[in-house]
Amino acid sequence: MSTTSDVLGRLHARPAAARWRNPGLWLGMLALLLVGLWPVVSGQAATREVIFTMLLAIALASSLNILMGYTGYVSFGHVVFFGLGGYVSMFLLSLGQPLWVAVPAGGVASGVLAFLLGKAILRLRGTYFALATIGINEAMRTFINNFGPFGGSTGISLNFSVYGNYGGAANALWLAYYAVLALALLAILVSYIVKTSKFGLGLMAIREDEDAAEVMGVFTPNAKTWAYVISAIIPGMVGALFFFKNGNIEPADAFRLQFSIETLVMIMLGGQGTVLGPILGALGYQQLRSFLLTNAFFKDYQLVIAGVLLLLIVLFIPAGAVGWLRKRFPRLRNVLP
Amino acid sequence: MISALSASLIDGLMIGLVYGIAAMGLTLIWGVMRVINLAHGAIIALGMFGIYLLFTNLGLNPYLGLLVVAVAGLLGGMLLYQLTIRRVINAPYLSTLLATFAINMIIIGLGTAAFSTSPRNVDFTLGSTNLGEITILNTRLVAALAALGITIGLYLFLFRTRPGKYVRAVANNRTAAELMGIPSSRILALSFGIGVMLAAVAGALIATFFPFTILSGDPYQLKSFVIGVLGGLGNPLGALVGGLILGVLEGIVPNFMPNTWVPVLEFMLFVLILLVRPSGLFGAKR
Amino acid sequence: MEPLLRIDNVGRRFGGLQALSGVTFEVFEGEILGLIGPNGAGKTTLFNVIDSVYEPNEGQVTFRGQPTKGKKPYHLARMGLARTHQIVRPLSELTVRDNVIVGACFGRENRSLGDAGEIADEVLHFVGLSERADQLAGSLNVAQKKRLEMARALAARPLLLLLDEVLAGLNPSEIVAMVETVRNIRAQGVTIIMIEHVMHAIMNLSDRIVVLEYGQVIATGTPQEIIANQRVIEAYLGDPKLAEQLMEAA
C-alpha cells in the first residue's frame, strides 16, 4: 500500500521545473508568436490590423479570465480599466510624455483603481458584483464626459507631431503592434503563472466555495483584491496602446459596455478558468466578427448572428470549447492548461 | 426661481412614475426568478417602436396602441421565457446574464437592420395644462396617470388574484411553492411576461413625449438598474418610489449644475447603495 | 494547565431566536471532546462561533490564549484551527488532490505548493482516498466527500480539529473505519471537538462530553457521567430515536 502511494506521490509531486514543461502553454505561445509575426513578414498593414484586434482581444480576455475564470467574480464593466488606461496615457502623451512612460502609467492607473475599488465591491457576490462593475463603468464614463482636463465629451486627440517622435505615423503603428503582441504574450504567461501558483489555487478555492475557502485559511479579501488588480493592469496598458494608435479617445469609445461583454463572450466561448480558453475564444470570436463584417450578406446582421451564437453557447455548451474538451477527455486536463 | 423649481419638480415626478414602471418590470423578474434581464433596454425600445408604428402606419390612437403593446409584451415575454430563460434559470448567474444579453443583441441587431438608428418621434400632442405659472404637457400627465394606474393594477393582481398570489409564493420560495402544487413553470413564464410587458409599456409611454432611436432603451435600462437598487431589487413598490426619486433628481439637479452631471450622480448613488444597502433604501439592513 | 480553547459565556442570536446562551466550557490539549444534543440545540452554530464564521453577541472565545474577537476564519486557520462541515463542501471543480493541497497550503503551516503536494499525498493515503486523487471532488460519493473534508482539515496540520457529524450517513463498516481514523488523528497529538449523533461511537471516543439543549450547556462530564445524568436523559426523551441510542450506549 505504502509503495503505491509513494509512486503516486512521485508522479504527482509538482516540482517547480515541471510547471515550466507544459506543452500546451509553450505550443500556444509559440503559435501566437508565429501568428503575431506573420504581418511583420508579409509587411501588409491590412493583415496587421486584423491581427492587432485579435491580440488585443487575447490580452483582454486572458486578463479578465483571472478574475472571472479563476476567482469566479464576473466583472461586466471591465472595460473601465481599458478606458482609464487609455485616458491616462493619452493625457500624458498630450503633455509631451514619451510612450514608454504613458503606457505603464495607464497600467498603473488601472491597477490603482482596481485596488481602491477592490476591497469595497468584492464584498458583493454574484449578480450584485456584476451590477456594481457596470455602475462603476457608467459612473466613470459619465464623469469623464464632464471632466475638463480629459477634454470632456470631445476627449483627447493627439497632435500628429507626437508620432514624429516614433519615426512617423507608419512606424508608430508598428510600434504599437509589437507592444500589443508583447502584452498578449505577457497576459498568457501571467495567466498561466497565476493558475499554477499557490495564489491561483486560493483563487480557485474562492470560486468553488468562498466560505469554505475562508475557513481553510485563504485570506479571501486580499486574494480577491489582488486578482482584481492583476486583471486590470494589462487592460490598462492595452487601452493605452489602442488609443495611441487610434490618435484620439472619447468617453463613448473608451467605456463601451458592449466591448466589456464581448470579452466575456470570448472567455465563455473558449472556456473560462483555463489558460488556453480565452485565447481560442478571442481568436474564434474575432474571426467570426471580421467574417460577418466583411460579408455583404451578413454585414447588417452581424449583431444578430453574434447574439444567436452567444445564446446557443450559453444554452448548450456553457463550459466553452476548452472546458468541453477537458470534460470530454479528462486526460487532456494535464496538457491543456 | 421657485416656479422654475416647482415646474421641474412636477415634471420630474411625472417622468419618475414612468421610470418606475420600467424598473418595476426589471425588479419583478429579479424578485421572482433571480434573473437580471439585460434585454430590458431593448424591450423598452421595442415598446417605443411598437407605439410609433401603430400610430404612424396604422393611425391608431397612441393610447389604444399602448394596449396592443401591452398584450404583445405579455405574450412575447412568455414566449421568450419558454424558448430561452427556462433553460438557464437554474444555471449560474453568468448564464442568465449572458442569455438575456444575447437576446438584447438579437433585438438590437434586427431593430437596427429594420429601422436604422435614426431618431423617430410619435407626432402626437394633447396640448398642455396651465397651473398658475406652471405649464404641464398633457402627454406627460397622461403617462404619469397611466403609470399610477398600472402600478395599482399590478398590486391588485399580486395581492388579490390567485395567479398573483402564486407569483408571490414562487418569488418567496420556489421549492415550497412547487410542493404546494403551484405550477411554478407557468407562473415563472407569466412573471417574465409581466416584466417584459411593463418594460414595453414604459417604452411606449416615453415615446409619447421624447424622440427615440432603436438604441434608446439602453439609458433607460441603466436607469432601471439604479431605480431597482434604490428601491431594493425584487420590490416592485420600491421601484415606484425609486423612480420618483430618480425623476425628481433629474428634474431638480439641472437647476444647479449642468445636466450632464445628472448621470454621474445617478451611477455614484447606484454603486454607493449597492455597497452600503444592497437590499435598497427600504429593505432590511444586512 | 492553560486550555487550548476556552468558551466563556457565549451567546448568539439570529433575529428573535436565541441559538446559544451562556455557553461555557474548556478544551484541553490532546483530548477528544464530544458535543451532543438534540437537533437544533446549537451545536453547529457553536462551531461557527468558534471558527469566527459568526461573531458571538455575548461572551468570548479564546484560542491558544488569544481572544478570537475581530479575527476572521482565515486568521484562525493559520493559528491552527481546522474543521469539517456537516453538509460537505467540496471544491467540486478541483481534483481531490487539489482540494487537500488547499488545506495544506493555507492551513497552520502555510506550506508552499510543492510541500503541500507531498502532505496531500500522505493525508489522502491516511484517509484512504489515494486512488481518487485525480478525480474531480464533485464526482465523489457522500462517504468519500466526508473523507475528503477530513483530509483537507488534516492537511492543515491543525492543533484543534472540529468534526461536524463525520459519521452521519455512513454505513456500519464505514463508521468503524472512520472511528479508527479519528483515534489515529488524536494519536498524532491533535485535539478534537466532535459533534455526533451516533451515540455508541461518541461515547467510545470522547474523553469528555458537553451536552447542549436549546443553546445551553445542560451537562458536562465523562461519558459515564453523561449517560447517568437525569437531565440529559430527559432532554433526549423528546427524541425517542436518540433516547434509544443513548440507552443502548449505556
Strands C191-195 and C160-164: parallel
Looking at the predicted structure, is the pLDDT value of residue C125 above 80? yes
Asked, for residue A2, whether it belongs to a domain, the answer is no
Separation of alpha carbons B108 and B100, rounded Å: 12
B105 with A310: Cβ contact below 8 A: yes
Asked, for residue A85, whether it belongs to a domain, the answer is yes
Nearest CA in chain A to C47: A215
Asked, for residue B31, whether it belongs to a domain, the answer is yes
Architecture of C5-80+159-249 per CATH?
3-Layer(aba) Sandwich (3.40)
Most confident range (mean pLDDT) of A283-297, A317-331, C6-20 is C6-20
Q: Mind telling me how many Å the CA of A301 is from chain B's nearest CA?
A: 6
> How many structural domains compose chain A?
1
Q: Kindly list the residues from chain B whose CB atom is less than 8 angstroms away from the CB atom of residue A296.
A: none
Looking at the predicted structure, is the pLDDT value of residue C238 above 80? no
H/E stretch holding C213: strand C208-213
Most confident range (mean pLDDT) of A34-43, B273-282, C146-155 is C146-155
Domain assignment of residue A270, given as a range:
22-334
pLDDT, chain A, mean: 88
Whether this model's pTM surpasses 0.95: no
Separation of alpha carbons B43 and B199, rounded Å: 6
A308 with B106: Cβ contact below 8 A: yes
Nearest CB among A131, A153, A314 relative to B102 is that of: A314
Separation of alpha carbons A205 and C100, rounded Å: 11
Asked, for residue B285, whether it belongs to a domain, the answer is no
Write the pLDDT tens digit of every residue in A103-153: 999 999 999 999 999 989 999 988 899 999 999 999 999 999 999 999 999
The pLDDT of residue A334 is: 67
The pLDDT of residue B26 is: 95
Contacts of A46 (CB under 8 A, 6+ apart): none
Asked, for residue A323, whether it belongs to a domain, the answer is yes
Asked, for residue A234, whether it belongs to a domain, the answer is yes
A138 with B84: Cβ contact below 8 A: no
- Which of C216, C215, C196, C212 minimizes the C-alpha distance to C204? C196
Separation of alpha carbons B96 and A316, rounded Å: 13
Separation of alpha carbons C81 and C110, rounded Å: 13
Asked if B36 contacts B26 with a C-beta cutoff of 8 angstroms, the reply is yes
Intervals of CATH 3.40.50.300 along chain C: 5-80+159-249
What are the CB-based long-range contacts (under 8 Å, 24+) for A142-146? A142/A251, A142/B260, A142/B263, A142/B264, A142/B267, A143/B264, A144/A83, A144/A87, A144/A251, A144/A254, A144/A255, A145/A251, A145/B260, A145/B264, A146/B258, A146/B260, A146/B261, A146/B264
The pLDDT of residue A16 is: 59
Asked, for residue B283, whether it belongs to a domain, the answer is no
Separation of alpha carbons A146 and A130, rounded Å: 25
Given pLDDT bands bounded at 50, 70 and 90, which one contains residue C232?
A: confident
Nearest CB among A12, A209, A218 relative to C133 is that of: A12
Domain assignment of residue B120, given as a range:
2-276
Sign of the Cα torsion B152, B157, B160, B164 reads negative
Asked, for residue B281, whether it belongs to a domain, the answer is no
H/E stretch holding C228: helix C223-228
Q: Kindly list the residues from chain A whose CB atom is less than 8 angstroms away from the CB atom of residue C90.
A: 208-209
Given pLDDT bands bounded at 50, 70 and 90, which one contains residue A9?
A: very low
Helix ranges (H only) for chain B are 2-33, 40-58, 62-80, 86-88, 93-115, 138-160, 162-172, 174-179, 184-207, 217-231, 236-252, 261-276
Looking at the predicted structure, is the pLDDT value of residue C239 above 90? no
Q: Mind telling me how many Å the CA of C228 is from chain A's nearest CA?
A: 37
For chain C, the residues whose C-beta falls within 8 A of a C-beta of chain A are 51, 53, 72-74, 77-78, 82-83, 85, 89-94, 97-98, 101-103, 105-108, 110, 112-114, 116-118, 121-122, 124-125, 130, 133-134, 152, 156
Contacts of A251 (CB under 8 A, 6+ apart): A83, A141, A142, A144, A145, A153, A155
Given pLDDT bands bounded at 50, 70 and 90, which one contains residue C64?
A: very high
The pLDDT of residue B283 is: 65
Asked, for residue A304, whether it belongs to a domain, the answer is yes
In the chain, the amino acid numbered C198 is V
For chain B, the residues whose C-beta falls within 8 A of a C-beta of chain A are 34, 36, 84, 87-88, 91-95, 97-99, 101-106, 108-110, 112-113, 222, 225-226, 229, 258, 260-261, 263-264, 267-268, 270-271, 274-275, 278
Interface of A with C in 183-212 (CB under 8 A): 197-198, 201-202, 204-205, 207-209, 211-212
Asked if A134 contacts B267 with a C-beta cutoff of 8 angstroms, the reply is no
CATH number at residue B171: 1.10.3470
A8 CB near a chain C CB, below 8 Å? yes
Separation of alpha carbons C132 and A321, rounded Å: 26
Name which residue leads in pLDDT, C248 or C105: C105
The pLDDT of residue A10 is: 41
Separation of alpha carbons A329 and A219, rounded Å: 34
The pLDDT of residue C199 is: 84
**DSSP structure class, residue C190:** -
The pLDDT of residue C70 is: 92
Strands C5-14 and B134-137: unpaired
> How many structural domains compose chain B?
1
Angle at C85 between CA C83 and CA C89, to 5 degrees: 115
DSSP code per residue over A114-161: HHHHHHHHTTS-HHHHHHHHHHHHHHHHHHHHT-GGGTGGG-EE--GG
Can you tell me the mean pLDDT for C13-27? Answer: 92
Residue with cell 480577491: A224
Render each residue's pLDDT in chain B as its tens digit; 286 residues: 677 788 888 889 999 999 999 999 999 999 999 999 999 999 999 999 999 999 999 989 989 999 999 999 999 999 999 999 999 888 888 889 889 999 999 999 999 999 988 999 888 888 888 877 788 888 899 999 999 999 999 999 999 999 999 999 999 888 899 888 888 889 999 999 999 999 999 999 999 989 999 999 989 999 999 999 998 888 888 899 999 999 999 988 888 888 899 999 999 999 999 998 888 777 654 3
CATH number at residue A205: 1.10.3470
Q: Mind telling me how many Å the CA of A70 is from chain C's nearest CA?
A: 11
Given pLDDT bands bounded at 50, 70 and 90, which one contains residue A12?
A: very low
Write the pLDDT tens digit of every residue in A200-242: 999 999 999 999 999 999 999 999 999 999 999 999 999 999 9
Asked, for residue A3, whether it belongs to a domain, the answer is no
Asked if B48 contacts B37 with a C-beta cutoff of 8 angstroms, the reply is no
Torsion of CA A111, A113, A116, A122, to 10 degrees: -80
Interface predicted TM-score (ipTM): 0.91
The pLDDT of residue A6 is: 42
